[in-house]
Amino acid sequence: PAGMALSVLLILLLSVLYEAVKMGKAVLLRRALQALPRSLSREELVEPEEGNTDPGQGRWFQYHVCQTLFHVVQVVLGYMVMLAVMSYNAWIFLGAILGSTLGYFV
């Protein structure tokens, strides 16, 4: 019983973390779009305009790299939760559902 309870708790926490990573990815997308220069010329993307004091200008690539890493973490967590649910254990399934619900709520 203790091992099953620990397994359900672990799946619950993985589901909460999955939802948190999904939300973090959305926040990074918003920041990346705000940091994107007005002009999409190659020069603007590589170097921001002189005299531009916007600290987010020119950092769009860093946000994009962070989004990519968040996506990889999200996919890995999603597959881990899916594999646990595919054990066809009702308690594990309920832990995944409850964790996803709790993570989305938070």
**Integer Cα distance of 83 and 102 in angstroms:** 20
Pick the residue with more confidence: 86 or 46? 86
pLDDT digits (tens, 9 = 90+) for 7-37: 999 999 999 999 999 999 999 888 888 877 6
- Under the banding of pLDDT at 50, 70 and 90, the label for residue 95 is very high
15's CB contacts (< 8 A; 6+ apart) are 81, 95, 96, 97, 98, 99, 100, 102, 103
For residue 4, is pLDDT > 90? Answer: yes
